[in-house]
Amino acid sequence: MAIKLSANYSKKLGLPQYSSHSFSASVEVELNDITQVEAEVQKLYQLLQQSVDQEIQHPGFVPASSTNGNSRAEQGPKGRSQPLNGHGRPPALSSADRWNCTDGQRGFILRIVNENPGITKQVAEDLSQQLFGLSVKQLNKMQASQLIEDLLVMAGKPAPRQTRWQQQPTNAQAA
């Protein structure tokens, strides 16, 4: 008489923004001898656990976990997201690597630094500390805008357009 042995291994992981994903694998085997059950259970459990653990490291889409909604999951090879740490966040988004401003502002600051030999990352960092007492990565949107304007002036780029909260000079002041 054949003995049917069914094994299932399942794992569920919590992700940012109250999201989660799970993966499950099942296998069914037939045994001819009841004495094989214990060894077969150990072998199947190890095989299923290893397979599920290997696959669940690739969660696919992961919702943004920052409060300003600007961070995106880092894409790894084959378009898969990077593995998450124990807190449900990609290791690449540690607090040291996260910027508080928008992705566009971050890209613009980095572009100014890369395209202007007189402006290094240290120059931008020093200016940020001087203006706001914060590192560049800690600047909020408004502070980052001001830093960008000042970096453009340092780079000799055309003066940025006036914003609505900057006071327009009166005729007496202009004369």
Per-domain boundaries in the chain: 3-93, 103-154
Full pLDDT tens readout for the chain, 175 residues: 788 989 998 888 777 767 777 888 899 999 888 898 899 999 999 998 888 888 877 767 766 654 444 444 444 444 444 454 554 545 555 556 789 899 899 999 999 999 988 889 999 999 999 988 999 999 998 999 999 999 998 888 765 555 555 555 555 555 5
CB count, 10 Å around CB of 15? Answer: 18
CB 64 within 8 A of CB 16: yes
| Parallel/antiparallel/unpaired status of strands 3-15 and 19-31 | antiparallel
By CB neighbour count within 10 A (0-12 exposed, 13-18 middle, 19+ buried), where does 146 fall? middle
Predicted TM-score of the model (pTM): 0.41
Q: What is the pLDDT of residue 117?
A: 86
